[in-house]
Homo-oligomer: A and B are copies of this chain.
Amino acid sequence: MHIAVDNARAVLSFRYTGPMNAPKTARERARAELTAEILAAARRQLRESGTAQLSLRSVARELGMASSAVYRYFASRDDLLTALIVQAYTEIGEAAEGADDPGAAPEERWLAVWRAARAWSLGNRHEYALIFGTPVPGYVAPHITVEVAGIMPLTLARIAAAAKRDGNLTPPAGPVCPPEAITPEMLVLLEDEAFTPDETARLILAWNRLVGIIGYELHGHLANVTADDALFFDHTARTEGAQLGLAFR
């Protein structure tokens, strides 16, 4: 637990604004470096062979060290997985954030963020599976992962908030989500913005769609269904944006 959170913070170092204890002694520096090296090797093996093939022993072999030594840095395989999960959540979140130009029109921002999420997922399918696939049995996500998991959906929410602020968020008629289906805390997703239960529901559904449609493409459920995956994806992005109340076209 102790090591896990430390490692997660190391991964998040560029985001983490809390008390940063910079490595001072040579040993501390070496430790930080080796931790990063182990994580990098694990990531490499994840990219090549997927989650199930990822083993602490093979990581240790790749780095030329005894498997038992790796346990000095990651207390368990789950710990290593947690670090990779945090890394993946952060990357897709920052890909989304990075593609979002707050000065652009909401519809353009929406499409750009969706495309960025898809692009990252296509280039990192094992990492996508790690965060949006079946949870690893017995693995309980530490709280730190919950935080970074929100970066991507919050980017979507921010766009909706901007549109709403300008009076450009007008959801189409249709079944309205009953207010009591949404928890009150969720109505304030962003600090200064408030959404109605219906808007919140539509946001959740949009996020769910983004994750789901990428998953379908990645897992082959769309094989023999779509002729042009990118085109179908763009259509889905617009449909979902329109469903939320953005004004496409």
CB-defined interface of A199-217 with B at 8 Å, one 1/0 digit per residue? 0010011001101110110
Set of chain B residues within 8 Å of A205, measured between Cβ atoms: 209, 213, 236, 239
CB-defined interface of A165-195 with B at 8 Å, one 1/0 digit per residue? 0000000111111101111111000000000
A155 interface residue (CB < 8 Å to B):
no
Set of chain B residues within 8 Å of A109, measured between Cβ atoms: none
Residues B225 and A183 in contact, CB atoms below 8 Å apart: yes
Assuming the contacts A134-B51, A136-B52, A208-B213, asked whether A235 and B174 have C-beta atoms less than 8 A apart, the reply is no
Assuming the contacts A134-B51, A209-B209, A212-B212, asked whether A242 and B181 have C-beta atoms less than 8 A apart, the reply is no
* Total interface residues in chain A, CB < 8 Å: 55
Residues B231 and A180 in contact, CB atoms below 8 Å apart: yes
Number of identical protomers = 2
Set of chain B residues within 8 Å of A242, measured between Cβ atoms: 174-175
Q: Complex formed: what's the CA distance from A135 to B129 in Å?
A: 9
Residue of B nearest to A232 (CB): B181
Set of chain B residues within 8 Å of A181, measured between Cβ atoms: 226-228, 231-232, 235
Residues B226 and A182 in contact, CB atoms below 8 Å apart: yes
Set of chain B residues within 8 Å of A201, measured between Cβ atoms: 232, 235
Q: Complex formed: what's the CA distance from A224 to B213 in Å?
A: 23
Residues A175 and B239 in contact, CB atoms below 8 Å apart: yes
Residues A172 and B174 in contact, CB atoms below 8 Å apart: yes
Residues B227 and A135 in contact, CB atoms below 8 Å apart: no
Residues A186 and B224 in contact, CB atoms below 8 Å apart: yes
Set of chain B residues within 8 Å of A176, measured between Cβ atoms: 235
**Nearest CB of B to A118, in Å:** 14
- List the 7 shortest-distance A-B pairs measured between CB atoms, nearest first: A133-B134, A212-B212, A50-B137, A175-B238, A181-B231, A181-B232, A129-B134
Residues of A participating in the B interface, judged by any CB pair closer than 8 Å:
49-53, 129, 133-138, 172-178, 180-186, 201, 204-205, 208-209, 211-213, 215-216, 219-222, 224-228, 231-232, 235-236, 238-239, 242-243, 248-249
22 A-B residue pairs with CB within 8 Å: A50-B137, A51-B134, A52-B137, A129-B135, A133-B134, A134-B219, A172-B173, A174-B243, A175-B239, A175-B242, A177-B232, A178-B235, A182-B226, A183-B226, A184-B227, A201-B232, A201-B235, A205-B209, A208-B212, A208-B213, A209-B212, A212-B212
